[in-house]
Amino acid sequence: MSKMLDMTIGQLLESKAKEIPDNDALVYVDRGLRYSYEQFNEECRRVAKAFIGLGIQQGDHVAIWASNTPEWVTTQFATGKMGAVLVTVNTNYQARELEYLLKQSDSQTLILMESYKGTSYLDIVYEVIPELKTSEKGKLQSETYPFLKNVIVLSEDEYPGMFNWRDVLQYADKVTNHALNERLNELDPEDVINMQYTSGTTGFPKGVMLTHNNLVNTAKHAGEGMRFTHEDRLCIPVPFFHCFGCVLGTLVCVTSGATMVPVQEFDVIDVLTSIEKERCTAIHGVPTMFIAELNHPDYSSFDLTSLRTGIMAGSTCPIEVMKKVSNDMGASELTIVYGQTETSPGITQTRTDDSLDIRVQTVGRAMPHLDVRIVDPVTRTEVPYGVQGEICCRGYNVMKGYYKNPDATNKVVDKEGWLYTGDLAVMDEAGNCTITGRLKDMIIRGGENIYPREVEEFLYTHPALLDVQVIGVPDPKYGEEVMAWVRVKEGLEVEKSELIAFCKGKIAHYKIPRYIEICEEFPMTASGKIQKFKLKEQAIQIMKTL
């Protein structure tokens, strides 16, 4: 079994830069940008010194709200060198979600791009932080966000109250290499270095605190699961704000000395072009991405013969899609990784030499140095092979906890260190697990986790609604879609289109219900509990008529 690493993210990159200085580290095909490991390390050091020069301290929280830009990657490794905690922000967030995250995370710095897919991040930031327009750069005073001091825009343009990226880099000149090295060497692998927001069954997002040790070792073992070496080149079209992008993507590459080939925002042609031009040996994606690639009219015109492996994750993979990626696309050693943000994110992985049956029908077996078991959800005693129960794990991958939320942490991690996933699974005698369902009502739409309670809480704010129940319904493209069942207050009326319009610009587009049904009553148990499974049954019947 492979060894564990005892180092920080900053030390990891320093060691790779010495070991393989001339190997390609980061390549953006569309930008013509290419950094060797030595150059990438130097750029990350420059950004780390700039952050120190700005006054960002070890342990301060730096939120980043951007797609897969070069600055995202350098910020990830720069914070890993100077000890600030990187808080990742979902690119689909709107005003209400950003406001919650900035408050709950106590972020000291916010880095953002100007806009994303037609949404102006600048407008949203000025809406939720109105004081910013009249603030001096780096000296924001906000009652709502008492910790927030710096707002940085990834742009060359000037905006009131914000540093641009060029401004920030100038601060690097104020800090010596010696000062950076001192900071880097003070860091401990057990320090929290990354915080990602995920919703629990309560529906309110929680900050998952992940350490250097969590992330570096998950990345190392996921890379070994794909047999990664410094000769591999990974196309990364999955978003960095998810663990899939910034752990199983960028960090996997650095632990193995491989080359990162990110795609800034998922586009089939950009992905296929990147694979062809850079001779990528690996590709990551959620099933919907692979479906889009395989079904694009120009798919067959690209040379993808360099592909060997990669990871499909994010939601259950349709067997036919896995077969096509393995056979038609050429990624014959493609692996499946199962996990969640709280496990940074890997729990199980199929291996490159597993049979196609194992790779399409299971999520593999425990990653190295991890304990995985299936337990009765009520008694939490282990169940025999072949019996369904809740999958749980223990080991280096388990989060430090939820930020400022010990009660929620104690609900999912017991005193012996076992983390309970809330997912139902069956394990065979070889240790391979098959996910069979969810204790939680979580909806997985195209790899995005959607928590019904969060959508319900928002819809409850509409003045005409009396009650709301949100469920997931089957969808051929995304796996699941969001459906809202609503009861309207007596004497009021509301149109379905009005409710959808009410959501736009307030919650992320993927959380907005695709289907809305207005009803008089919800099916209930004798004890007064709403039976969501009956709503789902009714929904499926309704959808057959659409």
Concatenating the DSSP letter of every residue in 57-105 gives PTT-EEEEE-SS-HHHHHHHHHHHHH-PEEEE--TT--HHHHHHHHHHH
Q: Where in the chain are the domains?
A: 9-210, 335-438, 443-544
What would you report as the CA-atom Rg of the chain, rounded to the nearest whole angstrom?
Answer: 23
Say if domain 9-210 classifies as CATH 3.40.50.1100: no
Whether a cis peptide bond, with omega within 30° of 0, leads into 345 is yes
Rounded to the nearest 10°, the torsion over CA 420, 421, 427, 431 is -80
Alpha-carbon distance of 470 to 452, in angstroms, equals 5
Alpha-carbon distance of 320 to 287, in angstroms, equals 11
- CA angle in degrees (0–180, nearest 5) for 259-264-270: 85
The token duo for 540 is 């499926």
CB of 499 within 8 A of CB of 486? Answer: yes
- Give the number of residues written for the chain: 546
Q: What is the pLDDT of residue 442?
A: 76
Q: Which residues contact 322 (CB under 8 A, 6 or more apart)?
A: 312, 334, 336, 356, 359, 360
Phi, psi of 120 (to 5 degrees): -80, 110
- What share of residues in the chain are helix, strand, coil (percent, to 5)? 35, 25, 40
How, if at all, do strands 119-120 and 163-164 pair? unpaired
Q: What is the pLDDT of residue 447?
A: 86
pLDDT tens for the chain, residues 1 to 546: 689 999 999 999 999 999 999 999 999 999 999 999 999 999 999 999 999 999 999 999 999 999 999 999 999 999 999 999 999 999 989 999 999 999 999 999 999 999 999 999 999 999 999 999 999 999 999 999 999 999 999 999 999 999 999 999 999 999 999 999 999 999 999 999 999 998 544 457 899 999 999 999 999 999 999 999 999 999 999 999 999 999 999 999 999 999 999 999 999 999 999 999 999 999 999 888 898 899 899 999 999 999 999 999 876 677 778 888 999 999 999 999 999 999 999 999 999 999 988 988 899 999 999 999 999 988 999 999 999 899 999 999 999 999 999 999 999 999 999 999 998 899 999 999 998 777 767 788 998 878 787 898 899 889 999 888 899 999 989 999 999 999 898 899 999 999 999 999 999 999 999 999 999 988 875 545 577 888 988 998 988 887
Alpha-carbon distance of 308 to 513, in angstroms, equals 38
- CA angle in degrees (0–180, nearest 5) for 370-371-374: 135
Alpha-carbon distance of 266 to 108, in angstroms, equals 30
Q: What is the pLDDT of residue 543?
A: 86
- Fold agreement between 9-210 and 443-544: no
Q: What is the pLDDT of residue 153?
A: 98
Q: Which residues contact 517 (CB under 8 A, 6 or more apart)?
A: 483, 484, 485, 486, 538, 539, 542
Q: Report which secondary-structure segment, H or E, holds 219.
A: helix 212-225
Alpha-carbon distance of 265 to 272, in angstroms, equals 13
- Report the topology of domain 443-544: GMP Synthetase; Chain A, domain 3 (3.30.300)
Q: What is the pLDDT of residue 200?
A: 45
Give domain 335-438's CATH number out of 3.40.50.880, 3.40.50.920, 1.10.10.60, 2.30.38.10: 2.30.38.10
Nearest to 533 by CA among 543, 522, 544: 522
